Structure 1
Amino acid sequence: MSTATARTDAEHRSEPVSGPHTPWTHAVRTAVLAAVAVCVVLLAFAWPSVTAKVQNLPVAAIGTAEQIAQITSKAPDGALNVRTAASRDEAVDLIRHREVYGAIVLGSAPEILVASAGSPVASQALTQMGAQMQSQIQSQAIAALQAALKQAAAAAQQAAAGGQAPSSAKAPQSSQTPPQAIPTVTVTDVVPLSPDDPRGTGLAVAGLPLAMGGMIGGVLISLLVSGTWRRLGAILAYGVLAGLGLAGILQGWFHILQGDFSANASAIGLGVVATAAIIVSLNALIGRAGIALGAVITLFVGNPLSSLTQPKEFLPAPWGDLGQWLVPGASGTLLRDLSYFPDAATAFPWLVLAGWAVLGAVLIAVGHFRNEPAVADV
């Protein structure tokens, strides 16, 4: 073999071998799908905040029918869903059972009852209503004082025109009565947030890592564990460990959660089990695409509709109620109730989480034959 030939062969061997180029149609289609995906992600997380408004907020009202009608007429149309209460104690009881977000006490001692632990957004809206009530009371007091002064001036002018000095006996009754103090609208936080989380941001943002935690466990178990019983056992063990660990961080370290530690850990663990079961079951049914579908259901649908940052009534119907049937919404509501509303009924969120967990377990058993084992059974 000549030197030139050997050099040519060596050059050919050193040159990288390139495969066929991707067709332009495939490249453009990929770019379009990526653009659609990022738009969907933006819509999923921004849509609830953009479309939410103060509407149908359940509140209690204590006062006469005329007083309640006067107050509700000042609120924007559809902003309040008023429920009458016989007394302040009854209104407080309704708040503690999470049947209303707050209460309006009318009469000689006006008061606004709020529960910042239930929803800081609702609490802020009711506090602003209290400021409007105070402004209205002051306006009415000023108008009454001006009317009294006009009446006194008219009486004095009439007496002067008749050539008589206005006597104290003929003076208006209002001039003889000492002016009364203008009532002050007080705002009382019946169920306040923890001092370590005064704005409620910790409890609100905790929903995302809880959802992500369930997804991470579901993905790892789907890829690394084979066998129906082994997957179910791994999901259960992951839920117990994740519940204890996350509750330890949120309650023992950050002091975001309140109440009984074991109850909070159980709620977190059941939520993690439910999310992981969704991921693993969909993977068992339709393969790797099930992991992406589970992420969409949990992260891009369930989390934005969870109403962790605002009352579910503020979302357009029926999305607020639908969010409570999904794992992130049920988990967030349950943790809020366990931490701050021990009198509230918690059967519904417990049943929702248990239902998703059982459904996932059944689907894992049904679709166990779909995936090839990731690791050999031993």
Structure 2
Amino acid sequence: MSADETTTTSGATSATDIPVTDTPAKKGPPAPVKVIAVVLGTAVLLSVMVTMFALPAARSAPHHVPIGVVGSEQVVSQVDRLTGDSFDVTAYSDEVAARDAIETRAIYGALVVKPGADLTVLVASAASPTVATMIETMGQGVADATRAQTQVVDVRSFPAKDPRGAGLAAGALPLALGGWISAMVIMLVISSAGGRIIAALGVSVVGGFALIAILQFLVGTFDGNYWLTSLAAMLGIAATCFAVLGLREALGGPGLVVAAIALILLGNPLSGLSSAPELLPTPWGAIGQLLPPGATGSLLRDVVFFNGNAIAHPLIVLGCWLLGGLVLYGLGLRRERRTHVSDVDVVEFGYRETVDA
């Protein structure tokens, strides 16, 4: 070996001179322990999933569902007494006022009781087919007690191709899974931070157009403005996708677990898309509206069938998830870059500087 290869300058340390110590490989738990852990862990996970998906449906019942009554004070008091805590009754001066309240999402329906006339039941099946049926049944009970005939008027209904809104209810799981799976694929395929942002935006735009095209032109659930409805779907997908990206970048593997719990385990069964938030056990219905699947479903429903009324709450919820995901993503990148600089110091200078996060 030549002198040039063996001599180093005084005071300097070559990267190849850093002492390397052999550390014994850590042994994991025995194979039988791993098998038992996998079996028990999977059983617990399946049990939790079945509970979260089945229990809300099995315990479905009205909890303070807002409805209206047009009639005398005696009639309003009687209906309020009969419904108890299941429905919150509000009195309206006339049928026009009750219709306006339905269209602005203040109430789900109303009973119009006029002396000597048929009882008119106002419902909005587009708000919730299940609640509409409950209000019809209630109206029939009042009509039987007063020996009057009933007339049901559907103020806002689903299109004839999907009269029960099955497409919207079935879309809850794709909405929850779509953003989560898209974020996972983006993280696996794309390594650059900017590329992931662009890909997430692209997935949101294309996914929004595709989802609404299927629900509107193939299934027939929607019949509103395609472009506005697609924008609502884009926001929902973007909020989900960026939330997953941010949680993963900031928290690592545990972030994906948090995202899966919030979006799939809780978000899908608590979305209320198949019934109504007020039919879920308290307070789970309200919690579901704070998660992306529930907020996206409410936003789509309000944009398509109620002329954009009551969209403030879902817009704020989705905006918070989107902004929160971006903030977490930025914080995670910043921490990663600082860690990378610290690791370079170890290789080049043989020591690690303390870096404050």
Range of TM-score over shorter length: 0.7 to 0.9
Secondary structure of 1:103 counterpart: strand
**1:96 aligned to 2:119?**
no
Stretches of structure 2 that go unaligned for 5 or more consecutive residues are: 1-27, 341-357
Secondary structure of 1:279 counterpart: helix
**1:308 aligned to 2:316?**
no
Distance in 1 between residues matched to 2:227 and 2:77, nearest whole Å: 46
Distance in 1 between residues matched to 2:151 and 2:63, nearest whole Å: 23
Q: Is the 8 A contact 1:243 1:266 kept in 2?
A: yes
Secondary structure of 1:186 counterpart: strand
Q: 1:317 aligns with which of 257, 282, 295?
A: 282
Matched ranges for 1:188-199 at <5 A? 188-199=153-164
Distance in 1 between residues matched to 2:323 and 2:29, nearest whole Å: 47
Give the match for residue 42 of structure 1: 50
Distance in 2 between residues matched to 1:302 and 1:282, nearest whole Å: 16
Distance in 2 between residues matched to 1:205 and 1:322, nearest whole Å: 20
User: Structure 2 counterpart of 1:124, which letter?
Assistant: T
User: Structure 2 counterpart of 1:82, which letter?
Assistant: V
Deviations 1:288-311 (A, max 9, x none): 343233122101111111111122
Give the match for residue 198 of structure 2: 233
Q: Percent identity?
A: 33
Please, which moves more after superposition, 77-86 or 95-104? 77-86
Distance apart, 1:266 and its partner CA: 0.9
Distance in 2 between residues matched to 1:45 and 1:124, nearest whole Å: 23
Give the match for residue 307 of structure 2: 342
**1:136 aligned to 2:101?**
no
Give the match for residue 171 of structure 2: 206
Give the match for residue 255 of structure 1: 220
Distance apart, 1:343 and its partner CA: 5.2
Query: Under a length normalisation based on structure 1, what TM-score does the superposition of the two structures give?
Result: 0.77
Give the match for residue 79 of structure 1: 86
Stretches of structure 1 that go unaligned for 5 or more consecutive residues are: 1-19, 139-182, 374-378
Deviations 1:197-231 (A, max 9, x none): 11121111111112211111111012111222221
Q: Are the structure 2 counterparts of residues 21 and 295 from structure 1 closer, same or farther at C-alpha, using a change threshold of 3 Å?
A: closer
Q: 1:275 aligns with which of 240, 248, 267?
A: 240
Distance in 1 between residues matched to 2:228 and 2:122, nearest whole Å: 28
Distance in 2 between residues matched to 1:294 and 1:343, nearest whole Å: 29
**1:184 aligned to 2:192?**
no
Distance apart, 1:50 and its partner CA: 1.9
Distance in 2 between residues matched to 1:267 and 1:251, nearest whole Å: 14
Secondary structure of 2:85 counterpart: coil
Q: Are the structure 2 counterparts of residues 130 and 361 from structure 1 closer, same or farther at C-alpha, using a change threshold of 3 Å?
A: same
Deviations 1:121-153 (A, max 9, x none): 110001111221232123xxxxxxxxxxxxxxx
Matched ranges for 1:120-131 at <5 A? 120-131=129-140
Give the match for residue 294 of structure 1: 259
**1:32 aligned to 2:32?**
no
Higher Rg of the two aligned structures? 1
User: What's the C-alpha RMSD, in Å, of the aligned pairs?
Assistant: 2.0
Secondary structure of 1:238 counterpart: helix
Secondary structure of 1:187 counterpart: strand
Distance in 1 between residues matched to 2:166 and 2:205, nearest whole Å: 26
Give the match for residue 15 of structure 1: none
Distance apart, 1:336 and its partner CA: 0.4
Secondary structure of 2:196 counterpart: helix
Distance apart, 1:104 and its partner CA: 0.9
Secondary structure of 1:230 counterpart: helix
Q: Is the 8 A contact 1:96 1:343 kept in 2?
A: no
Distance apart, 1:370 and its partner CA: 4.8
Q: Is the 8 A contact 2:80 2:88 kept in 1?
A: no
Give the match for residue 359 of structure 1: 324
Q: Is the 8 A contact 1:258 1:338 kept in 2?
A: no
Distance apart, 1:330 and its partner CA: 0.7
Secondary structure of 1:316 counterpart: coil
Distance apart, 1:338 and its partner CA: 1.0
Distance in 1 between residues matched to 2:191 and 2:262, nearest whole Å: 23
Distance in 2 between residues matched to 1:23 and 1:236, nearest whole Å: 43
User: Structure 1 counterpart of 2:85, which letter?
Assistant: G
Distance apart, 1:323 and its partner CA: 1.3
